[in-house]
Amino acid sequence: MYMIRIFRRKNLIEKRLFMIKRLKSLSVLLLCFSFCACSGTYIPVEIVTDAGGSAVGVEIITENRENNLPDNSGGNSENSSPVNKDGLSESADQYEGTEGTGNFNYGEALQKSFVFYELQRSGKLTGEERTNWRGDSALNDGADNGVDLTGGLFDAGDNAKFNLPMAYTATMLAWSVYEDYESYEKSGQLKYALSTIRYINDYLIKCHTAENEFYYQVGDGHADHAWWGPAEVMQMSRPSYKVTEQNPGSTVVGEAAASLAAAYLVFKDSDADYAEKCLEHAKQLYAFAEKTKSDSGYTAAEGFYSSWSGFYDELSWAAGWLYTAVGDKEYLSKAKDYFTQAETDHKWSLCWDDKGIGSALRLARITGESTYSAFVEKALDFWTGTGDERITVTPKGLSWLDTWGSLRYATTMAFVSASYSECDACPDGKRDLYWDWAVSQVDYALGSTGRSFVCGFGENCPQNPHHRTAQGSYCDNMNIPETARHTLYGALVGGPDANDGYNDTISDYTVNEVACDYNAGYTCALAKLYKRYGGKTLVDFGAVEPVETEFDIEACVNAAGENFVEIKAIVYNKTAWPARVGTKLKLRYFIDLSETSYSAASVKMGYSKDNSSCAILPWDEENNIYCVEVDFGDTLIYPGGQDACRSEVQFRISSDFWDNGNDFSYQGLGSQQGTVQSVSTLALYDNGELVFGSQPDGEASIAPPVTGGGTDESTDDNQPQPTQPPQATAGTASEGGISLSLKNGNGQTNAISLDMELTNVSGGDMDLGSLEIRYFFTSDGGTPVFECYYSAAEGSGYQAISGVTGVFEERSGENCDTAVKITVGSGTLEAGARLIINGVVHNSDWSGLNQSNDFSYGNAGNIAVYSGGRLICGKEP
């Protein structure tokens, strides 16, 4: 037996004694060095031997350092398990139900719309979701305030939860079920509709933590938008925000009351207890919203879901639903009174912000009074183009209101129009007009122009919606992979511009964003059309896809000689069915030690990186097959960034004689030293399960590991160096009071990713309005466009920065024909604070850009920063 003494440099933090079991007659020198890109550090070791050269111990020498693992406060430390979806498939092609008589199959469209809502779910999934690529997520939501805020729906293509559009979505869906119950029953979609409505309202009830307290948002929208990755592996902190009597938010509280009151109506016959629970919360929330009549505490959602129309429309809207639920005329009186106080606009649309048209329609149905029917007709005449004021109509027939979510508005007003056409208050001469217009708008969304705007439905449908989890990036880059790994079935994208122009590009969030509220009115309209025209649904359909390769190993020979071989291996976690954190990963390299005649007592091993360990273990002892096993321990390797998704190891195996020819794992390595390639003769395990690669035949007989080290990095002349990820380049420059760091994306895409941080190191405050940042590149013949996705100043506090713009000018010089001059607008950057700018430059036609020959690409020193017209950092070509 041999004793290994392990010491830690500085304070001798830890001393341990390990007993090493003598292996079979082997004498192999194994020097293992491991690198994980999360920290970029090695842990060197020193072998302790006796006078005869036999190994008696391993001294691991490392400096005391902080743990650099990502913050897991908002994510999941355990793997998310895919739900068993046997029998369901995205390839289902058998239909059931009544043959439709409409222009499109409204049954299938309605069916897929509810699949989209299941794909938006947050929290612990129920197991009934019809997908194999979504898993549990955001399981610590609310923990920062000691409450359980798990559940609900992610808002759009991001991972934040905003209760104003979410509650609006549930209200609309409940309205649709209440008004068109038969459509859902006949189409077989009733259980899915009720499941979605309940999933949202369960969450709203959780958010109502006290009579006059309501949590309205989870996740910082700015921080959320700065990271591009799947919901299941979020590691960022997710703060929760609430409104109270002292800091009220009548708009969002009123909408939650409306949702819960509408939920009462659709559950009172099937689940009376749950319906009463919803009603109780609805009444309390309405009283809270009405008592405070203020949005002064509704601050975190500003810029994302600001209440532009005020709160009186929500007070009217919610009161109308409460009147329908309980028949109390006091609520009806409130609905009418608050409608007169609301900032109603007939030239807008029913939407998450403005409930004026919706309230008018509900009151017209309830009261039959001309005040409300006249307002609805004025709005519909504007939308249908039959009034004195007319909406913009695209050449192909879409009533186009606004750049953002043009189809969201058109299809929601299609529902309003169809609903009103069925109402007693609607004049007979307008019924067909309103109905036909509603059909035309829904048909436009489904593909009447030759292009569908609904993912996974119809011809030429969107392939690359602006959606993090559906795109399936593993490296925090929306351009990698180039096409989405998942189909976001049933999602309605934002829609075309005023000339029917549309670009199916993931980065074009204006036309290709999706959102829960986008689908709300669209789903309601589909139920209307199904009621009249019918349609079939797919048998056993679900967003259940074939699982592609989720892990990878790249490896090569670093160096080799007569008595050693040095291996470099990089493991990747690219999971997406669903995405999951690898916390129990192990890598094995298999070797045949038949040619050796030494005792294993002198085995010497090194290991590195946090809790990673390296060992040599028997695999098939009778045939002298062993493996070098690297255990990554608690290291988080997850598909959430260029560093986070990968970990690198480099190890050397030596003896008096070494023959690679009979080693199982060596056979898959390429012939070119130092160049890694994907190999299948190494094996990667996740929690004991083989997830990539292969292993030799024979019974595995893994023994307790012989753990050890290498050499002190300060004395080792042959210390292996980490391989940096090829997907991005970065750099830092510091002078003139500014420290600038730059992180570019992949150099061969259709967008230049500009992820910049400017730190004020001048010792005094800096005027942001005087700053100008110049980035130099080659436009490759295109017309460049600058877009800023996120900008903020972080110092003693957080300050959102608006007004970041980019102007282009022609330049000449080394690797440069164009410069983008980025200015910030106004504000102050205090001493020590950071200015963060995340944006892109792309050609107007989204043509490819070769950045490898760009002057500023990957080099912060080649970006010029000016203050007041004076160059203070970097340089020009």
Residue 734 above 70 pLDDT? no
Q: What is the tens place of the pLDDT at every residue in 406-445? A: 999 999 999 999 999 999 999 999 999 999 999 999 999 9
CA distance 606 to 33: 6
Is 513 labeled as catalytic in the residue annotation? yes
The answer to whether the bond into 481 is cis (omega within 30° of 0) is: yes
Interval 61-73 mean pLDDT: 30
Q: What is the tens place of the pLDDT at every residue in 203-247? A: 999 999 999 999 999 999 999 999 999 999 999 999 999 999 999
Q: Which of 513, 517, 592, 631 is catalytic?
A: 513
CA distance 365 to 175: 13
Residue 265: closest CA among 324, 317, 192: 324
Is 346 labeled as catalytic in the residue annotation? no
As beta bridge partners, residue 754 has 839
Q: Kindly give, in sequence order, each residue whose CB lies less than 8 Å from that of residue 428, ignoring residues fewer than 6 positions away.
A: none
Q: What is the tens place of the pLDDT at every residue in 285-320? A: 999 999 999 999 999 999 999 999 999 999 999 999
What pTM does this model have? 0.75
CA distance 200 to 130: 17
Is 508 labeled as catalytic in the residue annotation? no
Q: Report the pLDDT value the prediction gives residue 798, as an integer from 0 to 100.
A: 61
* Separation of CA 427 from chain center: 47
CA distance 642 to 229: 11
Cβ contact 750:851 at 8 Å: no
CA distance 364 to 367: 5
The answer to whether the bond into 239 is cis (omega within 30° of 0) is: no
Q: What is the tens place of the pLDDT at every residue in 564-614? A: 788 889 999 999 999 999 989 999 999 988 876 433 432 343 334 445 677
Distance (Å) of CA 642 to CA 199, 389, 471, 726: 34, 52, 16, 9
CA distance 829 to 734: 16
CA distance 758 to 39: 22
Q: With H, G, I as helix, E, B as strand and everything else as coil, classify residue 210.
A: strand
Interval 30-52 mean pLDDT: 37
Q: What is the tens place of the pLDDT at every residue in 365-405? A: 999 999 999 999 999 999 999 988 999 999 999 999 999 99
Residue 215: closest CA among 237, 238, 239, 243: 243
Q: With H, G, I as helix, E, B as strand and everything else as coil, classify residue 223.
A: helix
619 CB neighbour count, 10 Å cutoff: 24
Q: Which of 46, 108, 136, 158 is catalytic?
A: 158
Q: Is the pLDDT higher at 10 or at 651?
A: 651
Q: What is the tens place of the pLDDT at every residue in 692-721? A: 999 998 555 454 433 333 333 323 333 334
Residue 827 above 70 pLDDT? yes
Render 131-181 in DSSP notation, one character per residue. Answer: BSS---B-TTTTGGGTS----SB--BSSS-EEHHHHHHHHHHHHHHHHH-H
With a pLDDT cut of 90, the percent of the chain lying above it is 63
Q: Which of 504, 712, 713, 794 is catalytic?
A: 504
Interval 836-855 mean pLDDT: 84
Which range has the top average pLDDT, 14-23, 62-71, 260-269, 776-785?
A: 260-269
Q: Which of 54-63, 467-476, 480-489, 568-577 has the lowest mean pLDDT?
A: 54-63
Q: Report the pLDDT value the prediction gives residue 733, as an integer from 0 to 100.
A: 59
Q: Report the pLDDT value the prediction gives residue 593, as an integer from 0 to 100.
A: 84
Q: Report the pLDDT value the prediction gives residue 150, as an integer from 0 to 100.
A: 99
680 pLDDT tier (thresholds 50, 70, 90): very high
What is the residue-averaged pLDDT of the chain?
A: 85
Residue 845: closest CA among 507, 575, 430, 360: 507
- Write the secondary structure of 224-236 as one string of H (helix), E (strand) and C (coil): HHCCCCCHHHCCC
Q: What is the tens place of the pLDDT at every residue in 510-545? A: 999 999 999 999 999 999 999 999 999 999 999 999
Q: What is the tens place of the pLDDT at every residue in 768-802? A: 889 999 999 998 888 899 988 677 787 776 677 77
Catalogue all structural domains in the chain, each as residue range(s) with its CATH number. 2-72+548-693 (2.60.40.710), 95-538 (1.50.10.10), 729-873 (2.60.40.710)
Q: Kindly give, in sequence order, each residue whose CB lies less than 8 Å from that of residue 210, ignoring residues fewer than 6 positions away.
A: none
Residue 452 above 80 pLDDT? yes
Residue 57: its H or E element: strand 55-60
Determine if residue 665 is left, alpha or beta; phi over 0 gives left, psi from -120 to 50 gives alpha, anything else beta: alpha
As beta bridge partners, residue 556 has 568
Phi, psi at 784, each rounded to 5°? -75, 150
668 pLDDT tier (thresholds 50, 70, 90): confident
- Quote the tokens at residue 621: 């002892």
CA distance 477 to 749: 11
Is 158 labeled as catalytic in the residue annotation? yes
Tally of helices (H runs) and strands (E runs) in the chain: 16, 36
Q: Report the pLDDT value the prediction gives residue 745, as an integer from 0 to 100.
A: 66
With a pLDDT cut of 70, the percent of the chain lying above it is 83
Residue 4 above 70 pLDDT? no
Q: Kindly give, in sequence order, each residue whose CB lies less than 8 Å from that of residue 178, ignoring residues fewer than 6 positions away.
A: 262, 265, 266
Interval 270-276 mean pLDDT: 98
Residue 19 above 70 pLDDT? no
Phi, psi at 442, each rounded to 5°? -65, -40
- Write the secondary structure of 673-685 as one string of H (helix), E (strand) and C (coil): CCCCEECCCCEEE
Interval 323-337 mean pLDDT: 98
